[in-house]
Amino acid sequence: MSAIDHEHGAQLTWSGELAARLRMKWLVLSTAIEERLVYRGDFAFSTLVRFLPIVTQLFMWNSIYSGDTSQQMRGYTYPDMVSYYLLGMLARAFSSMPGLSTGIAQSIANGSVRKYLIQPVDMLDHLFWHRVAHKLVYYVIAAAPFAFVFWMCREYLPGWPGATLMMAWTASLVMSFLIGFLIEALIGLIAFWFLEVSSLIFIYMMLSYILSGHMIPLEWISPWVPWVQWLPFKYLAYFPVAIILGKIPPEQVWTELSVQAGWIVVLFIANRVVFRLGVRRYSAYGG
């Protein structure tokens, strides 16, 4: 066999493996979507219930500002806070991963993680596409409630940004999803060393709620926590909102997006290293 034939055969083998992997990913994604649509009524109800706190939050901020739309607090007027909270809800819809870390920890504790060790299926990749399916179904169901709430509050919302900022905002939302997945997966993988991680998950959820800017803008807490701007949490909620509200200068947006992408790389490597070390430990005492 000539060198050309050998190279051609290697290319065919590589393309065949790639096609098989893509088919596997599509199978996992489509199956996960079908699973969530089986209980679509319950899924839709739980999705709609999450919109109820919006009303109380808007009333709370109206009370704080005493209905004065011109009053500013740390650079935010009442319309700014309404916009911030609604856009923050949208950002958290991308980055939140309910049940991910708990599910990984339970899988390690009850031994069902072994199915990923004896089959040619990567656990993190499998869980990632399951989460993509969950988000796709969620977005379809939540699109109408989101549109209704934004329409009701349209007088408080800023105008549409330019095409460049819209691209940056979209990229930040996609990367917030990746960061949210990687952080929660990393916390779940700690169960290889500590079988009970519920307390750690609770601490993370509490810190994330504050440090991501979901509860209040980061400008309100940065005087007490000056290093909050360097943490990956801010990319879960605050950063996408700050792009739309103009809280970040346009010339700094792409630099911030590069930092966000850097956090994805760091968290991805951390997940792979921790998973590999965890599997070695698990095999050592679990067989």
What does the pLDDT look like over 45-70, one tens digit per residue? 666 666 667 777 777 887 888 767 77
Q: Would you say 73 and 65 are in contact if contact means Cβ atoms under 8 Å apart?
A: yes
Average pLDDT estimate for 211-222: 87
Q: What pLDDT score does 20 carry? A: 65
15: number of Cβ within 10 Å? 10
User: What is the total residue count of the chain?
Assistant: 287
pLDDT at residue number 54:
73
Query: What pLDDT sits at residue 5?
Result: 47
Helices (H) and strands (E) in the chain, counts: 11, 0
Residue 235: both structure tokens together? 């990319």
Cα dihedral 31, 37, 39, 43 in deg (nearest 10): 120
Least confident stretch, 14-23, 90-99, 218-227, 228-237: 14-23
- Residue 77 identity (one-letter amino acid): T
pLDDT at 8: 44
CA 99 to CA 90: how far, in whole Å? 19
Q: What integer pLDDT is reported at residue 186 of this predicted model? A: 94
Contact 73, 159 (CB under 8 A): no
Q: What is d(CA 32, CA 38) in angstroms, rounded to the nearest whole number?
A: 10
Phi and psi angles of residue 85, each rounded to the nearest 5 degrees, phi first: -65, -45
- Most distant CA atoms of the chain, gap in Å: 83
pLDDT tens-digit map of 82-135: 889 888 888 888 898 888 899 998 888 888 888 888 777 788 888 898 888 888
pTM of the model: 0.83
Average pLDDT over residues 8-27: 62
Instruction: Please state the three-class secondary structure of 108-161 as a single string.
Output: HHHCCCHHHHHCCCCHHHHHHHHHHHHHHHHHHHHHHHHHHHHHHCHHHCCCCC
Q: What is the pLDDT of residues 123-180, one digit of tens each?
A: 888 889 888 888 888 787 777 777 888 888 888 887 777 888 899 999 999 999 999 9
